[in-house]
A and B are shown apart, each in its own frame.
Chain A
């Protein structure tokens, strides 16, 4: 094989290789750029951009972000809702999918109809806003939890496809022995569905961690801000200053974070923004390579959705 490579083949391989390298650089460089920027002195950064390596290294901006009360509050809100929603919604969704997949479930048609209806019909943002208000969830921590506790019918379809791979004989013998449905679910189905559970848990966690829409639509208090939302406001307020644009409604939490910088010294609005972005993306960057092996096997269908 090695000796038989023609010139054309070699050119093809070399250009493929180069394209991949360039694509990887284009993908990774923005992160490198923000990482070095966040670890560089802000006053120095204002003199000229840095592209490869910090010129005046400092942990100042990281410290400022990690010791800011508003930031820590946002981090707590984001982390706690990610943990709660991921664990409960995976349980509810997997459980629903198990019961749904049983051939002996009576009234299956009803569940099929509401499942598909929930996928294709939606009231949209204003009716949802009115509902949250009516339920008293508007500007309440629970708005981050309750509406997301079911993972959606799409995930049910994915679970369902995976449950089909479990041999029927296992279920039958367990039922003969008088095992309850809960026991079958917990002791047979869950252990045999680990890859899909892991993959869907990762997707759910990523979605919740990255979500800022809920904060934008359904909250107004500073103490209910999520990490992503706070960073968004940080970016917007910095751009507004740069481009001399008007900013709709200033944000108290962001203002207090930026207050101690005053645009000079080691820590500036710009380095704070970069540090916050790097810190908020770290959990995802650390986690996803470990989960990667589950993706393709577990949930091929799932990625069509996104």
Chain B
């Protein structure tokens, strides 16, 4: 249909336009190559007898060591507790956070008073915008043996002596999961609320005419409406289950709760950057990345099979 078939005449394909587009693309491309791709060469040291003193050329000149770092990782007595902490905090955290966030979003969606609804939203967004240093710091203060939580528990005679929330390893998972939930419950609800807003309103009216109560409408119309969003979030949760929120854990961690607070990411930081075991720390990090990628692909395939929705 186009009268001009020659390539040179089509709008935008001329040399000048292409050049201008490249100028716009290349600052970012260079940054990606330098800061995202160059470090990938560093992964080689996971398979080598590398020592920090060897410098950058040592990455290529040091000798291969037949997967010794990987073998030693599994023999390390700290390895399995650390995997257990990572999975425990993440999986229990997701099991607690996803349903509670959905219930919160459902209730928020039922509030017919727009001003009150937006007030609740503004207030619950707040913690999302604060750093883990501040938010974690606040809770460390509140959960302290002289903090308000222990004060109230003592006052109501629920306990006889203060609970050491952060000094006793027993409580660390709970503290991590609880603070994580409180920090992101409001923000997490945004996605569900948007999905709920997209549900066809005539469905509710039809159901109301058929005599379905509020609760029934919620279960039979709203929940199916947010299913695709929920699936995407579950895929993210599954693929991210080896990935702890380092910024959170590191703030809440201390030498007393280490048995339950040491996770893969903090261990990599500690052995790698504080004890300079570059090669073995890189090996653990690489193992984690590979497993996380496999989990992502697996979760996505499973979700596609069951619910016909996936990320890619």
Interface of A toward B, CB cutoff 8 Å: 8-9, 12, 16-17, 19-20, 23-24, 26-28, 30-31, 33-34, 37, 49, 51, 92-93, 95-96, 98-100, 102-106, 111, 114-115, 117-118, 120-131, 134, 146-147, 149-150, 172, 175-176, 180-182, 185, 206, 209-213, 216-217, 228-229, 231-232, 235-236, 239-240, 242-243, 245-246, 248, 273-274, 277, 280-281, 284-285, 287-289, 292, 295-296, 300, 303-304, 306
| A123:B40 contact, CB within 8 angstroms | yes
| B187:A306 contact, CB within 8 angstroms | yes
Q: Is B137 an interface residue (CB 8 A)?
A: yes
Q: Is B139 an interface residue (CB 8 A)?
A: yes
Q: Is B301 an interface residue (CB 8 A)?
A: no
Interface of B toward A, CB cutoff 8 Å: 10-13, 16-18, 20-22, 24-25, 27-29, 31-33, 35-43, 45, 56, 59, 104, 107-108, 110-111, 116, 119-142, 144, 146-148, 151, 166-167, 182, 184-188, 190-191, 193-194, 213-215, 232-233, 236, 246-247, 250-251, 254-256, 268-269, 272-274, 278, 281-282, 285-286, 289, 293, 296
| B27:A95 contact, CB within 8 angstroms | yes
29 A/B residue pairs, CB under 8 Å, sorted by A? A12-B110, A23-B185, A24-B123, A27-B126, A27-B186, A98-B24, A104-B10, A118-B37, A122-B36, A126-B272, A127-B42, A127-B43, A130-B59, A131-B39, A150-B27, A150-B28, A180-B16, A212-B133, A216-B250, A231-B133, A231-B137, A232-B133, A235-B137, A239-B166, A248-B274, A273-B137, A288-B126, A289-B122, A300-B190
Q: Which residues of A are found within 8 Å of B126, using beta-carbon distances?
A: 27-28, 31, 285, 288
Q: Main SS of the interface on chain B?
A: helix
Q: Which residues of B are found within 8 Å of A146, using beta-carbon distances?
A: 31, 35
Q: Which residues of B are found within 8 Å of A175, using beta-carbon distances?
A: 11-12, 17
| A274:B232 contact, CB within 8 angstroms | no
A252 to B121, CA, bound (A): 41
Shortest Cβ gap from A54 to chain B (Å): 15
Kindly report which residue of chain B lies nearest to residue A26, judged by CB atoms.
Answer: B182
Q: Which residues of B are found within 8 Å of A213, using beta-carbon distances?
A: 246-247
Q: Which residues of B are found within 8 Å of A17, using beta-carbon distances?
A: 111, 116
Given contacts A20-B107, A33-B148, contact A131 B120 (CB under 8 A): no
A284 to B268, CA, bound (A): 31
Q: Which residues of B are found within 8 Å of A23, using beta-carbon distances?
A: 104, 120, 124, 185
Kindly report which residue of chain B lies nearest to residue A100, judged by CB atoms.
Answer: B25
Q: Contact partner of A232 among B35, B215, B251, B293, CB < 8 A? A: B251
A229 to B166, CA, bound (A): 20
A121 to B37, CA, bound (A): 8
Q: Which residues of B are found within 8 Å of A296, using beta-carbon distances?
A: 190, 193-194
| A277:B138 contact, CB within 8 angstroms | yes
| B138:A134 contact, CB within 8 angstroms | no
Kindly report which residue of chain A lies nearest to residue B13, judged by CB atoms.
Answer: A104
Q: Which residues of A are found within 8 Å of B269, using beta-carbon distances?
A: 125, 216-217
Shortest Cβ gap from B233 to chain A (Å): 7
A115 to B213, CA, bound (A): 48
| B11:A245 contact, CB within 8 angstroms | no
Kindly report which residue of chain B lies nearest to residue A133, judged by CB atoms.
Answer: B56
| A49:B182 contact, CB within 8 angstroms | no
Kindly report which residue of chain B lies nearest to residue A248, judged by CB atoms.
Answer: B274
Beyond A96-B29, A228-B133, 10 extra complex contacts between A and B, CB < 8 Å: A49-B147, A104-B17, A124-B285, A131-B38, A150-B32, A150-B35, A175-B11, A228-B131, A281-B131, A285-B126
| B138:A33 contact, CB within 8 angstroms | yes
| A99:B24 contact, CB within 8 angstroms | yes
A100 to B28, CA, bound (A): 11
Shortest Cβ gap from B14 to chain A (Å): 9
A221 to B94, CA, bound (A): 38
Kindly report which residue of chain B lies nearest to residue A135, judged by CB atoms.
Answer: B34
Q: Which residues of A are found within 8 Å of B134, using beta-carbon distances?
A: 228, 231, 277, 280-281
Q: Which residues of A are found within 8 Å of B139, using beta-carbon distances?
A: 30
Kindly report which residue of chain B lies nearest to residue A205, judged by CB atoms.
Answer: B129
Q: Contact partner of A288 among B125, B184, B256, CB < 8 A? A: B125
Q: Contact partner of A245 among B32, B125, B130, B254, CB < 8 A? A: B254
| A235:B140 contact, CB within 8 angstroms | yes
Given contacts A212-B131, A235-B133, contact A34 B31 (CB under 8 A): no
Q: Which residues of B are found within 8 Å of A292, using beta-carbon distances?
A: 121-122, 125
Kindly report which residue of chain A lies nearest to residue B193, judged by CB atoms.
Answer: A296
A96 to B27, CA, bound (A): 8
Shortest Cβ gap from A88 to chain B (Å): 9
